[in-house]
Amino acid sequence: MKRIAFWLLVVLFFKVLGSIMLEYRNYFPANFDANFLFGREAFFNGSYRFAFYAHIISGPITLLIAAFLMFSGKRKSLRHWHRKLGKTLAYLVLLVMLPSGFVMATRAMTGPIAGAAFFVLTFITAFSVIVASWHASQRRFAIHQVWATRSFILLCSPMLLRMMTGATIVFDVEGEWTYRFAAWGSWLIPLTVFEVRRLFRRRLVCGSLNDSSKGALS
């Protein structure tokens, strides 16, 4: 069942990524009647235009590299490529995704509440990638894996945002507040689930060790 669930998630990952990239036909050249670009013609120039194209071009590349890193982390045969692509991912996030994300957050749909969500997301993602890279360089691979997983969850937030906004359209509840909720929830919800699950597993392990220690002493 775990294997089936894993492959279902893989299929979902590529399906959502494909649907996002399908929208790129409206970006080259920019179609201001399209969903994302609607109403942005007035400020679609200068730094915002550069940030927009930098973000959408680097986004799928970053996601695919991150997915490979999650897959290859414990495979010795892929260790060389894992290390090289890990460095590539860090450069992409810190030099392209981070600055372009900050610029785009200033013009987020539905205003500063959604913009704040993307601003915080960009900062936390950069921080997670930096910490994951640092622990990898220090060969603290267990801690590195935790931070790398956090980074992957945060990098996948645009895909969950796409799914959440799509659901609001299906259920006819699309609006400013639902988009603002999706902007925050697309990364806060999965990150919270990960942290709660990790905490629960740690408590189970600690409980088992305590029980073993009591049994040995008795």
Task: State pLDDT tens for residues 63-85.
Answer: 889 989 988 878 888 889 999 99
Any domain includes 81 = yes
The pLDDT-based confidence of 125 (bands split at 50, 70, 90) is: very high
Any domain includes 156 = yes
DSSP codes, 52-96: HHHHHHHHHHHHHHHHHHHHHTT-GGGHHHHHHHHHHHHHHIIII
Any domain includes 61 = yes
DSSP designation for 113: H
Task: State pLDDT tens for residues 144-172.
Answer: 999 999 999 999 998 898 888 888 888 88
Any domain includes 175 = yes
Any domain includes 10 = no
The pLDDT-based confidence of 210 (bands split at 50, 70, 90) is: low
Cβ–Cβ < 8 Å for 161, 118: no
- Who has greater pLDDT, 3 or 191? 191
pTM exceeds 0.75 = yes
Any domain includes 5 = no
The residue count for the chain: 218
Q: Tell me, what amino acid is at 63?
A: L
Any domain includes 11 = no
What range does the domain containing 182 cover? 20-217
Nearest CA among 92, 206, 75, 217 for reference residue 155 = 92
Task: State pLDDT tens for residues 85-95.
Answer: 999 999 999 99
Does pLDDT of 4 surpass 80? Answer: no
Cβ–Cβ < 8 Å for 171, 134: no
Q: Residue 87: its pLDDT value, please? A: 94
User: Residues of the chain with pLDDT > 90: what percent?
Assistant: 40
Any domain includes 203 = yes
Q: Residue 181: its pLDDT value, please? A: 93
Domain count, the chain: 1
Mean pLDDT for the chain overall: 85
